[in-house]
Amino acid sequence: MCAADGVFPEIAVLTGAGISAESGLATFRGAGGLWNGRRVEDVATIEGFKKDPDTVWRFYNSLKKETVAALPNDAHKALSRLQKAYPAKVSIFTQNVDLLHEKAGTQNVYHIHGRIDRALCMNCMRSNPSESEITFDAPCPFCGKPALKPDIVFFGEVPYYLDLVQQKLSSCGVFIAVGTSGVVCPAASFVFTAKENGAKTFEFNTEPSGNPAFDTAVTGKAGETLPPFVDKILSAVERQENLF
């Protein structure tokens, strides 16, 4: 298709734990998953947090150390390259609480499940940076109450940016899911919304989900499959052609 009229479709990208696997961070499901040895109910629910905040903070403090040390891989870098060079909007939504997209230079990353480097006060509901270790009895810098929880969306809580995501899913012409098992809602439904709105849909995963809403499933490690895909899109852009 020729894009001589300068019209390139907007791209929306949803990433999950699999994109950070090649940076050494564990995924949630599957062997070596983050939840190994830890019951989700204990470390990712409000009930678990209220019951034992000390354990939950220790869990996220240790995860914070690991994620701060991690470096972006070729998949994060490819998306950053795409966002910089593609002539239309490239929006990145991530379920990951790590900051590897930002470390790769990607702008305006929407962390729909929160961020490891922030804490949310359950008293005044303000979010604040929490770069160092936090203990459950630490006071909120705003209201002074010891009511800080990791600013991470626990099961049963509403993810962030959902209105904005819906807007992007209606306006995008291309939807790409990278390294997500597609079993946690509402992110699992994004591909359906994008497709209903006419987007071309792509999945990059080591194990294809088999979800028929994806037009194309690319099997392999994202760090190996995503860079050549981005190269192809950007070469087409140079020729003023729309690959999609």
Using CB under 6 A as the criterion, which residues of the chain lie in contact with ligand OAD when the complex forms?
A: 16-18, 21-22, 27-29, 44, 95, 113, 153, 179-181, 184, 204-207, 221-222
Nearest 5°: the CA angle 51, 57, 136 is 70
Query: Which residue among 76, 101, 111, 113 is the active-site one?
Result: 113
100 neighbors 117 (Cβ within 8 angstroms): no
Nearest Cα neighbor of 25 from 97, 81, 93, 74 is 97
Q: Which of residues 151 and 233 has its CB atom nearest to ligand OAD in the complex?
A: 151
Catalogue the E-assigned strands of the chain: 11-15, 90-94, 109-111, 114-121, 127-129, 148-152, 174-178, 200-205, 216-219
- Distance CA(54)–CA(57), nearest Å, equals 5
Least distance from C-beta 215 to ligand OAD, angstroms? 18
**Is 75 in contact with 22 (CB distance < 8 Å)?**
yes
- Of 181 and 201, nearer to ligand OAD (C-beta) is 181
| 189/234 Cα distance (integer angstroms) | 28
Active site residue 111: no
Cα 31–chain centre separation = 20
CB 224 to ligand OAD: min, Å: 8
Of 76 and 200, nearer to ligand OAD (C-beta) is 76
Q: Toward ligand OAD, which CB reaches closer, 184 or 236?
A: 184
- Is-contact 118 128, C-beta < 8 A? yes
Tell me which residue has its CB nearest to ligand OAD. 18
Residue 97: CB minimum distance to ligand OAD, A: 7
**Amino acid at residue number 159:** P
DSSP class of residue 140? P
Closer Cβ to ligand OAD, 9 or 182, answer by number: 182
CB of 230 to ligand OAD, least distance (A): 14
The nearest distance, CB 103 to ligand OAD, in angstroms, is 17
Please give the positions annotated as active site: 113
